[in-house]
Amino acid sequence: MKAVILAAGHGTRLRPVTLTMPKSLVPVANKFLIVYAIEVLRNAGICDIGIVVNSLSSPIVQTLETGEKYGVKLSYIVQEEQKGLAHATAICRDFVGDEPFCVFLGDNIFQDKMQDLLQKFESSEAEAALGLGEVADPTRFGIAEINGDKILRVVEKPKDPPSNLAICGVYLFRKSIFDAISKIQPSKRGEYEITDAIQVLLTEGKTVMPYKVNGWWIDAGKPNAIIEANQFV
Whether residue 232 is predicted with pLDDT greater than 60 in this model: the reply is: no
* Contact assessment for residue 171 and residue 102, using Cβ atoms and an 8 Å cutoff: yes
Tell me if 114 sits within 8 A of 23, measured CB to CB: no
Average pLDDT of span 146-164 = 93
pLDDT at 162 (0 to 100): 94
pLDDT of 1 over the 90 cut: yes
Residue 94 confidence (pLDDT) above 50: yes
For residue 31, the model assigns a pLDDT of 87
CATH architecture of structural domain 2-232:
Alpha-Beta Complex (3.90)
| AA letter at 60 | I
In this predicted structure, the answer to whether residue 123 has a pLDDT above a threshold of 60 is: yes
Give the range among 113-117, 135-139, 224-228 with minimum mean pLDDT.
Answer: 224-228
Residue % of the chain over a pLDDT of 70: 89
Ordered by start, the domain boundaries in the chain are 2-232
